[in-house]
Structure 1
Amino acid sequence: MAALTGTQKAAMLLLQLGRDRAARVMAQLEVHEIEELTAEILRLERVDQRLADEVLEEFHAVSVVGPGVGGGMGLAQHLLVASLGAEQAAGVMERLQTSLQGQPFEFLQHADARQVVSLLSSEHPQAIALVLAHLKPDHAGAIIAGLDPELQADIAHRIALMERASPDVVQMIAENLQRKASSVLASSELAAVGGVQPLVEIINRADPSTEKVILEGLASRDEELAEEVRSRMFVFADITLLEDRAMQLVLRQVETAQLSVALKGVSDGVRETVMRNLSERARENLVEEIELLGPVRLSLVEDARAAIVQVIRRLEESGQIVIRRDSEDELVA
């Protein structure tokens, strides 16, 4: 920390506030201050998480006790309210305080997945779901893959429905696991955990067989929720990840009228993926159809795209195509 300048610390703090909030804070600064901070932000391509946490801790310490006369929590809150408004300022302070308190299950983050599975095996499914929702998605994916198939679906369902957890409950579970693991780490709270998106990220990082078991088990419990998870796992823009042969198979099952609506407002990459997998005549017909459409309601565009995604998922489930996730290795013939 001693090696960092005040401007560097301010830049790191702004990066952790998020783009919108950081922009509003910078709007309150002098031009030369904005220029200095911008220069530092450009230099900060990668920041060690521990160093970033130390900057947050220092900011928190200064905001609570103050560096001297005139500082303290009151001043920090006043500056944030002036920059962001009362509601957003409260959110920033809450986020900072939560971040500074650390992760309650950090002692599991670098533990071997098999050891964590053994540690969690006697815990209630809700407790296991709570723990996995706090861990990094790739680590949580490896852990859930080691659980019994029936338990995987149950835990997936619980993670998806989880929204907020009582800090006292989180602390109690963390302390209990720490004692069992013979680890020493101060536990803390992370109030907002779980939900559909964390579950999607976990499943995306699990192996294909685990993904299949979880989705099937989830569907047997809550088909609507399972469908929401599936829809988030592959969106229309992801067709750029399909191999050409797979894309051609998909296009053979989609009507030109539906495809023309789905392509309204898409990125150049998505449009090029579709066009290069059509015959010259089909491509000309599609371009003509799109031009004749004119403006189309967004809801109709979304419906058309959703219908095509369903075609893709059916083809994947039947084994006719393979969807390569963005982070996965290339397939080898």
Structure 2
Amino acid sequence: MPRLTVKERLSNLRKAAIFMISIGPEAAAQIYKHLSEQDIEKLSGEIARLENVAASELSNVNDEFHNMILAQQYISAGGLNYAQDILVTALGEKKAMEIIKRVQMTLEVKGFSVLEDVDVTQLLAFLQKEHPQTIALVLSQLTPIQAANVLAELSPNIQIDVMHRIARMERVTPETLNAVEKVLESHIDFTQATSKFGGVKPAAEILNMVGQRFEKNILSGISKEDAELAGEIKNLMFVFEDMIKLDDRSIQKVLKEVDNKELAMALKACSNELKDKILRNMSKRASEMIQEEIEYMGPVRLREVETVQQHVVDIIRRLEEEGEIYVSAGSEEDTLV
């Protein structure tokens, strides 16, 4: 998919907002039902920011929407070339190519969303017969919890191989996507551009959900081949804000290892919920001192705060490895009782 500039993205968001207003609240509400929460939030914000919309701008937006709908209908009826011929005849070459380009962008591959509703048992039966690269490609496009459930059922060696491949995956060629498409026997419409798949963050999200029982073995296996990569994954698996998941006893043990000045700086950039939970696990006097430290600290660079927060995370990971605290992995069944 061609990458949009910031200007183009903002322009498209404004167009969407104008169109939603023009069709009225009832029709707009029906469209909202098909959007993600993130898209709804962005679109609603843009609608709220709209003030004076010129009649010409409103007309242009509605014309563009109408033309794109026609183009999609022409493509469905006779393919891209058929649609292009009709639009060139009706609107001229320049305008037609602009519309065709936009429609092509809306037809890009959306990952393997068609697999989101597939039963994990069926998906596992399919993937167990495939090459680790194919498994990695598919898992990188599932939700972390779904991917974790599949990963947990694979053999230890395959788990390590697959996670290593996911973490190292960046761009996937059209040929590879086409090969996977055939294997999946699906009708996914892949574009001719390389697509972003996998990476360290998706690998960390999956391991976060798979649970400690598998996590340590997989990370250990990856570390033998690429210690730096294993470290990158591990750093993303538990971030400072995740301290909210720790029980009070674990937080108290962590706080014993953290200098008060460092803690105050770490709390400069976190949610109020986490800050309140940490302060509740301190004595009244210590809590007051930390709050005073934060108040009198003044502005600090975000990267300095993040460095201190990472130091706290390192302490948490060390205490976890030593068995001093328990870090919930989200989907792990072996919870404390």
Relative to the length of structure 2, the TM-score reads: 0.70
Aligned to 1:143: 150
1: distance between equivalents of 2:246 and 2:323? 14
**Offset at 1:42?**
5.4
Q: Is the 8 A contact 1:104 1:171 kept in 2?
A: no
**Offset at 1:291?**
3.1
Identity across matched positions, percent: 32
Gaps of 5+ in 2: 37-67
1: distance between equivalents of 2:276 and 2:334? 20
Aligned to 2:34: 47
**CA deviation vs aligned residue, 1:150-200 (integer Å, no higher than 9, x gap):** 12111101111111111112212332x34xxxxx53354372211122222
Which residue identity is paired with 2:178?
Q
Q: Give the 5 Å matches for 1:280-291.
A: 280-291=284-295
Please, which moves more after superposition, 153-162 or 262-271? 262-271
**Offset at 1:36?**
4.1
CA RMSD of aligned residues (A): 3.9
1:273 aligns with 2:277: yes
Change (3 A) 1:104 1:281: closer
1:35 aligns with 2:21: yes
Q: Give the 5 Å matches for 1:300-319.
A: 300-319=304-323
1:98 aligns with 2:108: yes
Aligned to 1:249: 253
**Offset at 1:94?**
5.7
- SS at the partner of 1:189? coil
Q: Give the 5 Å matches for 1:74-223.
A: 75=95, 78=98, 95-99=105-109, 106=114, 109-175=116-182, 177-178=183-184, 184-189=185-190, 191-223=195-227
- 4+ runs deviating over 6 angstroms: 19-22, 56-59, 66-69, 326-330
Relative to the length of structure 1, the TM-score reads: 0.71
**Offset at 1:114?**
4.3
Which residue identity is paired with 2:307?
D
Which residue identity is paired with 2:207?
I
The number of residues matched between the two structures is 291
**CA deviation vs aligned residue, 1:42-69 (integer Å, no higher than 9, x gap):** 56564389xxxxxx99874468638977
**CA deviation vs aligned residue, 1:227-256 (integer Å, no higher than 9, x gap):** 222222221122222222211111111010
**CA deviation vs aligned residue, 1:283-316 (integer Å, no higher than 9, x gap):** 1221232233222222211110000011111222
Gaps of 5+ in 1: 1-16, 50-55, 81-89, 179-183
Q: Is the 8 A contact 1:60 1:97 kept in 2?
A: no
Which residue identity is paired with 1:35?
I
2: distance between equivalents of 1:20 and 1:205? 37
1: distance between equivalents of 2:164 and 2:69? 35
Please, which moves more after superposition, 299-308 or 320-329? 320-329
2: distance between equivalents of 1:218 and 1:78? 46
Q: Is the 8 A contact 1:161 1:195 kept in 2?
A: yes
1:262 aligns with 2:262: no
Which residue identity is paired with 2:287?
R
1: distance between equivalents of 2:92 and 2:214? 50
1:228 aligns with 2:232: yes
